[in-house]
Structure 1
Amino acid sequence: MSELETKAVETTEVKAVSKKKGMNVKDLTTLGLLTGILLVMSFTPLGYFHTFGLDISLMMIPVGIGAMLMGPKAGAWLGFIFGATSFYQAVTGASPFSAMLFNISPVSTFLLCIPTRMLMGFLTGVIFLLVSKLDKKKTACFFVGGFFAAFLNTLFFMSTLVLLFWNTEYIQGFNQAFGNVNPFLFVVLFVGVNGALEMPASCIAGGVVSKAVSRTLYKKVV
């Protein structure tokens, strides 16, 4: 076997071992950085902007970026961090809305905050991988991933909110203000401005940043 062939075999073996081991140092560094960004954001209006209704948040953007750069498992981890900070806001009373839900049922509030965000991060990574196989220019897939990070966050959070808290006096108080509408229309009205801000912001910011980092840091598009 020639020296060139030997090097080719060694390179193939290294790649195979890397795949088996999972994340490399670069991935772990990026994951740590995004985790830190989420923690910092959780204490600023960029993380949680508290309103009289549902809180406006941009926390799903780093989650979506991580899911697109490193895959569904990284997305699930970052979703966990997002959810944990949200639950912390409920426990400490930093979010009046979440704190009220916590007073009604701590267990239901935990399920509302954490599993929904983990599933959002995981599925954002899955959707990105699927769309990237169809996207020949490898551009639209990043913006699709950014959009779905916000869309799935809203979908899972609001679905769980209605499922677990619909019959509570607190949520029905909001519903009375909307004219006692059905659960679907309640979600549309309740999300309102939040969705109009979060989804475009996540689509644009998540798409631009994730593609830029993928091209520069990872030297690849997908």
Structure 2
Amino acid sequence: MNNNERLVDDNSTVSIQGNETTNSVERKKVKKEKKSGITIRELTIIGLLAGITIALGVSGYGIIPLGPLNVTTLHVPTLIGAIVEGPKVGAFVGFIFGCYSLWQNITAPNILSPLFINPIISVLPRILFPVLAYLVYLLLWKAPQGPRILVSAFMGTVFHTIMVMGLIFLLYADMFAIKMNLSPDQVLGSIVFLSVTHGIPEAVFAAVIVTPVALALRKVLRKDTPKKEKTDAVTSTATTVGADANKTTEVNKIKSVEENITK
């Protein structure tokens, strides 16, 4: 083997070893993220949506007083997180939503705030409803993305209202009757009435807002890209890398020949 061939082989070996090292590091990063149970991207999205939730609440746009209850738009980021990134992200954002609701009822109470100081009412439903919204999204897997997201957001909000008002009825029916000046026989009818008059507007609002936002985010994050396109993209990248490696090898060959001619 002459010097030129030896130089080419050495350069090729170094290039292959470098690629293997890079791939090994990437695999270790992916494994580490999987072991931790949550990826960096998911943490970033949770932080962003949680920040939007708190901003909506602090600005006053997230909780709108309407009679004895508050009509909330704070659940919108939670639904977006669940539909775009899955139930885990939705549950985390929902937890922040619930904690803010708890704090809001402590610092700015209304007539029914004593009921919402209980985390079972103020926090638990906010963790569960994005999971249910995502299940609806999965069940509608044959539907086009637009209607699929719209129905999931609407039903997620309905589940949220049913859980909150249902827990109030189960745990605080007597206190609800006292606060609202109702007889015990009127409690169920009043809760159903409030659920409809507050829950339906919330559900419609959520469906209208969540659908275009979730569609745009899923497109940006390539959530709806067919697997074939993703495979083609990976193949194209691999081909480009291979071509670059071949060019590097050719350049090294030319350099080695020039050095020998000079000598």
TM-score when normalising by structure 1: 0.79
Q: Which has the higher helix share?
A: 2
Q: Which has the larger radius of gyration?
A: 2
Q: Deviations over 1:183-211 (max 9, x none)?
A: 1x322212343223201011111111111
TM-aligned CA deviation for residue 20 of structure 1: 5.7
> For residues 193 and 67 of structure 1, do their structure 2 counterparts lie closer, same or farther at Cα, with a shift above 3 Å needed?
same
Could you tell me which runs of 5 or more consecutive residues in structure 2 were left unpaired when the two chains were aligned: 1-15, 226-263
Task: Provide the C-alpha distance between the structure 2 equivalents of 1:192 and 1:205, rounded to a whole number of angstroms.
Answer: 20
Task: Provide the C-alpha distance between the structure 2 equivalents of 1:73 and 1:85, rounded to a whole number of angstroms.
Answer: 19
TM-aligned CA deviation for residue 21 of structure 1: 5.5
Task: Provide the C-alpha distance between the structure 1 equivalents of 2:181 and 2:201, rounded to a whole number of angstroms.
Answer: 22
Does 2:180 correspond to 1:174?
Answer: yes
Q: Secondary structure at the match of 1:56?
A: strand
- What pairs up with 1:1-222 in 2 under 5 angstroms? 14=27, 17=31, 22-92=37-107, 94-101=108-115, 106=117, 109-131=118-140, 133-135=141-143, 137-168=144-175, 170-174=176-180, 176=182, 180-181=185-186, 183=188, 185-216=189-220, 218-221=221-224
Q: Secondary structure at the match of 2:155?
A: helix
TM-aligned CA deviation for residue 34 of structure 1: 0.2
Q: Secondary structure at the match of 1:176?
A: coil
* Paired letter, 2:120: L
Q: Is the 8 A contact 1:66 1:75 kept in 2?
A: yes
TM-aligned CA deviation for residue 22 of structure 1: 4.7
* RMSD (CA atoms): 2.8
Number of aligned residue pairs: give it.
203
TM-aligned CA deviation for residue 124 of structure 1: 1.7
Percent identity between the two aligned chains = 26
TM-aligned CA deviation for residue 69 of structure 1: 1.1
TM-score when normalising by structure 2: 0.67
Q: Is the 8 A contact 1:50 1:95 kept in 2?
A: no
Task: Provide the C-alpha distance between the structure 2 equivalents of 1:174 and 1:190, rounded to a whole number of angstroms.
Answer: 12
